[in-house]
Amino acid sequence: MMSSLLQGRKILLGVSSGIAIYKAVDLLSKLRKAKAELRVILTPEAEKMVSGLVFSAVGNCPVYSDIFKVQEGFIPHTDLSRWAELFAIAPATANTIAKLNAGIADNLLLATALAYPDKPKLLVPTMNTRMFENPVTTENIAKLGSQGWSVVAPEEGHLACGDVGKGRYPENELIIEEMAYLLSEKPLAGMKALVTAGPTRERIDNVRYITNRSSGKMGYAIARALRYMGAEVVLVTGPTALRAPAGVEVVKVQSATEMAGAVDLYSKVSKVIVMAAAVADYKPVKPSEHKIKKSPGEFTLRLERTRDILATLERKEDQIVIGFCAEDRELEKKAREKLEKKSLDAIVCNDISRSDIAFGSEENEVFVYFKDGSSEHLDKADKELIASQLVKRVILRLLSNS
Ligand code: CTP
């Protein structure tokens, strides 16, 4: 996931000696898969826990820990701080955080942080709950926050010492999302966007429902891509198995009717609206309060149309509205008919005759048709990249013309 967005970006990973250090090895592995350019700094204590060899092999990258190892004019703390586009410390112990805040530079990681100029920097505090909740640490983190450090907050859960509470190392996917956010340009800063995603569920009785195969991945990726570029995003989502994107307001709904209610509310204040949800076109006329019991012979379920949310949207003049469609033949003709009928600025068309893309898949390839008659083809790529292309080549273009 989000692999393409970190490709070639220079990420310096600082690792201090939290018990969660093994998760930093996995972070490095994920960053390598994302094709980031990597370098690692270990504190001397971290090196006692996991050898630099492990980081070097997993990240396929140089690993540094000795502040005095000046070689062929390479001065580790200043050269590494100049080299990096992003400096992340994960895990960041209470001790490292306190020293960072005090400007102490008694190891390579701290000296590099002190020499690090005004570029993106990220802390992942990880420690025992009492250490984390101690006002000394809370204040240190808050002060570092005001000095340009972004923070991925620790999670609640079981800790190595047996306690349960806040302090656990967060999911690496969240850290990587934050990295992508920090490294992105922000042409959409301050703009409000609404995205719908996923399937809807239409109740038949209290245990059964009608739904479809939409995974929600495309809509979630678009919400993330918009947020990376600075937009304030609301994601209205039907039931999915996906983790909520960081920094996005997520509104969970079940049925098409609930989705319509949420869209009506948030669309009023949104400049850009992207309707990627696969909304059910029909719902049971009369859902049963109790579980329907089987009986001999056929069973008929009466369905009625749901409201077409997109077609009935109360549009404001300067809004940009983008719809999706899923077609298995006459793609352009069908897509253009919907573009016209639903008064859209652009429509993104999935070719569902192919099994290698769209529904449930990690990848997609789409055609985008604009109301001015032009079109764009986005080559097959992972949905994160397609989403970022959609924002750059479709939404930014529409915004610049509006
Ligand atoms: N949509 C909606 N409300 C509905 C149905 C669809 O808002 N009740 C939106 C979807 O989010 C999507 C677009 O309308 O942006 C899809 O239009 P639709 O005409 O349903 O196209 P298809 O999904 O391709 O369906 P069909 O096969 O019925 O043409």
- Interval between CA 51 and ligand 1 midpoint (Å): 54
Q: How far is the CA of 205 from the centre of ligand 1 (A)?
A: 24
pLDDT of residue 359: 73
For the chain (402 residues), the mean pLDDT of every run of 10, in chain order, is 80 97 98 97 97 98 90 87 98 98 97 95 96 97 97 90 89 96 96 98 98 95 97 98 96 98 97 98 97 96 97 93 94 96 96 77 90 95 93 96 84
Pocket of ligand 1 (CB under 6 A): 196, 256, 275, 277, 279, 281, 306, 308-310, 323-327, 338
309, 322, 331: residue to mutate for ligand 1 pocket, most atoms within 8 A of CB: 309
**Secondary structure E strands in 152-277:** 155-158, 164-168, 192-197, 202-203, 209-210, 232-237, 249-252, 272-275
Cα 119 to its chain centre, rounded Å, is 21
Protein residue with its CA nearest to atom 28 in ligand 1: 281
> Quick one: which atom of ligand 1 is closest to the CA of 313?
7
Residue 47 burial (C-beta neighbours within 10 Å; 0-12, 13-18, 19+): middle
Across the strands, what pairs with 41? 14, 64
Q: How far is the CA of 307 from the centre of ligand 1 (A)?
A: 10
Q: Are the CB atoms for 239 and 159 separated by under 8 Å?
A: no
Show which residues are catalytic: 161
pLDDT for residue 100: 98
Q: What is the pTM of this model?
A: 0.92
Give all domains of the chain, ordered by start, each with its CATH number: 2-183 (3.40.50.1950), 192-401 (3.40.50.10300)
Write out the DSSP string of 68-133: T--BTTB-HHHHHHHH-SEEEEEEE-HHHHHHHHHT---SHHHHHHHH--SS-EEEEE---HHHHH
Integer Cα distance of 244 and 301 in angstroms: 34
Q: Which of 320, 344, 216 is nearest to 276 (CA)?
A: 216
Work out the angle between the directed axes of helices 108-115 and 76-83 (0-180°, nearest 10): 50
Of 293, 218, 306, 209, the closest CA to residue 256 belongs to 306
CA distance 7 to 34: 6
